[in-house]
Structure 1
Amino acid sequence: MTINQHPSPLTQDLRIGLLGSYGGCNMGDEAILMCVLSCLRAHRPQARLVVFSRNSDHTRSHQPEADEVVDWEGVPQRPVLDVLAGLDLLVLGGGGILYDGEARRYLRLVKAAHERGVPTFAYAIGAGPLRDADDREAVRTVLPEMTDVVVRDEESRLVLEEVGVERDLTVTADPALTLTPEPFTEDMMRRESLPTGGRLVGMSVREPGRAAEKLDEDGYHALLADVADFLARRLDAQVVFVPMERQDVRHAHGVLSRMSAPDRGRILNNSYSPGEILGFMSHLDMVVGMRLHVVIFAALAGLPVLPLPYSGKVFDFARRTGAPALVGVAREQAGLLLAEVDRLWDEFPQRQGDLRARVRELQGLARETCARCGGLLDSIDGGARDERRTEDAQLILSRAPGQPT
């Protein structure tokens, strides 16, 4: 074999895996995946990007930057582990994936990557609530072994420190802050039977569950109905519910059924990409949101937004953007909530400049996550170069006069 024929790791594309709540379950997670894929593609245009998905068909059809998609739930694990072993890097997240009932499942694959010598990077992940003993143990033992861990907010860092994670944790911001809007056209508006001349207020709701344990369904449906009625009257507006998951539609209907003016409410019925939902924000005048990524999209669009903090991640984002940071979502708080909505609308012209400055700062932090991941890729490439130099030197010595062939 001549030196020119010697195989080099640098002649082969890096294989980078992405593991998160991907596969069409949640619009916010799909926005995150788009942004992480875009980051990796920008740093390594020739890399092979492998997405571990909960629904491979959805990911293949909706994420064109993915080169390969692997189902990892409800399938034999040996093929999944074989793919894992062939990676140069496994990227965990972003998004809120380290919470009760879910953390151990993701970290099982991260641990398997470590056992196969694969570096791992936590890409602005969210954490909490974490009370389950098995999930806490998985977090406490696996995260310290990761190559780098970046979390998206202070709430997540506090949760991980409380669990007992002893390592450096870098706080940046949600990856979806780097999403690019796509046009939401007049034709799309007509298909949704939405006016293009009047005021529109966006609203997002969500289901109770492990990530939103304190929500009382009947109570918060009634509360949001009060808010929707108030906005319809106060602003002479239509209220448009923006589903981010399929089950959000049922909860939107629950709110509509409690409105005194349900004819002033609409629900987006068609399927849209995350970029199109971000583009839809340009048609809105205000947003009241429970879903974190509806709140993020509204902030990106420079809208007055009232986050409804069902969890720490929403409260944290409200604090970082200067939005009203309420302490809960309960029917007895209706008066306080309506007063905040009224004040937000009246004072927003004076607040808008501050919001835009804060969002730019958060976008810069989100890009820092991408830069850190790029630095890790550089170190992986550098390791490959060092390995090549060593192998080439050994080959030269083996071909030197007097050396055995």
Structure 2
Amino acid sequence: MSLKIVISGFYGLGNTGDEAILEAIIDNLRAALPNPDITVFSLSPEQTANTHNVKSVYRGWRRDNKGKIRALREADLLISGGGGLLQDTYPTRFLFGPLPYYLLIVFLAKLCGTKVMFFSQGIGPVNTRWGKILMKVFANMADFITVRDAYSKQLLHELGVTRPETVVTADIVFAFHHKEDDACLESLPLRGDERLVAVSVRPWLDRRDYYGHIAKALDELIELEGITPVFVPMEGHHDVRASEQVVGHMNHRSACHILGPDFTPNQYLHFISRCRLTIGMRLHSLIFSALAGVPHIGLSYDPKVESLLKRSGMWDYSFRLEDIEVGRLVDNARYMLAHRDSVSTIVRQNAAQMRQEAMENIRLLKAKFLSQGEDGR
């Protein structure tokens, strides 16, 4: 009997990191389980169903709530995750906002008699009083939790989420099945001998100062190292606009390229694998770089980014967003370009360890829930 699984996350909204998470979960579930029956809650259910050959139900509350309840009632297991779902960086008002949404899905699953696993999640920040109350009440309903870093486990305990067993693993994207695909590279007007540097920027709150810092550093690297910066928009038009902001501050803007926003996670990953270096804000641009053994300098706007950079061995070369020093950024990038092979070796070794830890998410799921699915709830 196949395990019936519902996956709940930030899916169908065009975020490359979250779509990579979904692809990694589905591919690895299919590799590890006998014919899993998978349903995904998605904002674009038809697209998700066609892309991954799964069932899909509209994730929002505006429609098809009966479909969500029916899927949860029929399921053996709800996978909540992965990614940074449980946080209140964005406004959390009573039942509106990411944190209450995902916890209400958990609550619905438990009302339907379905087991719940928080899967490879990054927790926090959770700073509001209401967010802390919701976490303590509803997150304790989970049957089992894996988190992608030690910071998340510590935060769960500080929030009073102590009932479910919690294990630190790694982001499931470290178990992504990378395939050859040069669509991104072929979309660019390149000669073929460029020193490509992937750049990932995103809008962040009301901050604008970092656009100028990144622009100045890239200008210097173009002059000193002859690099060709290529901006990789990990969240569609949001990141395209942020990339355009950086390019608008540059003197050598004609030396830059911005990839289109509609490539697949695998295509972006494969493009990054062809680069000499990544300078990135988005977490999954840095995870893609680690997966491909590409040296990377992170610009951390969130503890999840700093945590990843420490695990990949690149934190000493990286910066918190508010602490960017253009001169040091340029020096660090030049060092990585000059010593690429040795830095790449460090990255590959650390990524191999995180790949093993990412696969633990699947092994633990099988150990905790497979026999229950086969025997019936």
Give TM-score, length-normalised by structure 1: 0.85
Equivalent residue number for residue 94 of structure 2: none
d(CA) in 2 for partners of 1:208, 1:87: 37
Q: Which has the larger radius of gyration?
A: 1
Residue correspondences, number: 365
- Does residue 37 (structure 1) correspond to residue 9 (structure 2)? The answer is no
Residue equivalent to 1:344: 336
Q: Would you say the 8 A contact 2:85–2:99 is kept in 1?
A: yes
Work out whether residues 14 and 235 of structure 2, in 8 Å CA contact, stay in contact via their aligned partners in 1. Answer: yes
Tell me whether 328-337 or 365-374 shows the greater mean CA deviation: 328-337
Q: Distance in 2 between matches of 1:62 and 1:233?
A: 42
2:226 pairs with one of 226, 232, 236? 236
Percent sequence identity over aligned pairs: 29
1:93 aligns with: 81
Instruction: State the 1:76 CA deviation.
Output: 4.7
Matches of 2:354 and 2:226 in 1, distance apart?
33
| Alignment-mate amino acid for residue 365 of structure 1 | E
Give yes or no for the alignment of 1:20 onto 2:17. no
Letter in 2 for 1:242: V
- Aligned AA for 1:320? R
Residues 1:117 and 2:113 are matched in the alignment: yes
Aligned match for 1:221, one of 211, 219, 223: 211
Q: Report if the CA contact (8 A) 1:220-1:331 is conserved.
A: no
- What CA deviation, in whole Å up to 9, does each residue of 1:109-149 have, x standing for no partner? 10111112100111101111111222222211222221110
- The amino acid across from 2:223 in the alignment is R
- Determine which of 264, 272, 296 is the counterpart of 2:287: 296
Gaps of 5+ in 2: 89-96
Residue 178 of structure 1, CA deviation: 1.1
Gaps of 5+ in 1: 1-9, 210-214, 388-405
CA distance in 1, matches of 2:157, 2:191: 49
Q: For residue 39 of structure 1, what is the amino acid of its counterpart?
A: N
Structure 1 position 106, deviation (Å): 0.5
Partner of residue 176, structure 2: 179
Deviates more, 1:129-138 or 1:361-370: 129-138
Contact 2:146 2:166 (C-alpha < 8 Å) held by counterparts = yes
Alignment of 1:5-404 (within 5 A): 10=1, 13-64=2-53, 66=54, 68-73=55-60, 74-100=62-88, 101-167=97-163, 168-185=165-182, 188-209=184-205, 216-217=207-208, 219-246=209-236, 247-269=238-260, 271-325=262-316, 326-330=318-322, 333-381=325-373, 383-384=375-376
Whole-angstrom CA distance in 1 between matches of 2:304 and 2:324: 23
Q: Kindly tell me: are residues 43 and 222 of structure 1, through their superposed partners in 2, closer, same or farther at Cα, counting changes over 3 Å?
A: same
SS in 2 for 1:206: coil
Q: Give, in whole Å, the separation in 2 of the partners of 1:331 and 1:126.
A: 23
Q: Specify the code of the residue in structure 1 equivalent to 2:235.
A: E
> CA–CA distance in 1 between the matches of 2:245 and 2:365?
42
Name the structure 1 match of 2:91: none
Deviation of the 1:265 alpha carbon: 0.8
Could you say what secondary structure the match of 1:169 adopts? Answer: strand
- Aligned-pair CA distance for 1:233: 1.9
Question: Residue 318 of structure 1: CA displacement?
Answer: 0.6
Counterpart Cα distance in 1 of 2:75 and 2:324: 52
Partners of 1:223 and 1:331 within 8 A in 2: no
SS across alignment from 1:32: helix
TM-fit CA distance, 1:49? 0.4
Tell me if structure 2 keeps the 8 A contact 1:205–1:252: yes
* Structure-2-length-normalised TM-score: 0.91
Distance 1:330 1:226, change over 3 A: farther
> Cα 1:46–1:32, aligned 2, differ >3 Å: closer, same or farther?
same
Q: Quote how far apart the aligned CAs of 1:184 are.
A: 3.1
The amino acid that maps onto 2:192 is: T
Q: Which amino acid aligns with 2:41?
A: F
Superposition deviation, residue 292 in structure 1: 0.7
Amino acid of the structure 1 residue aligned with 2:145: V
Q: Does structure 2 retain, via aligned residues, the 8 Å contact 1:40–1:374? A: no
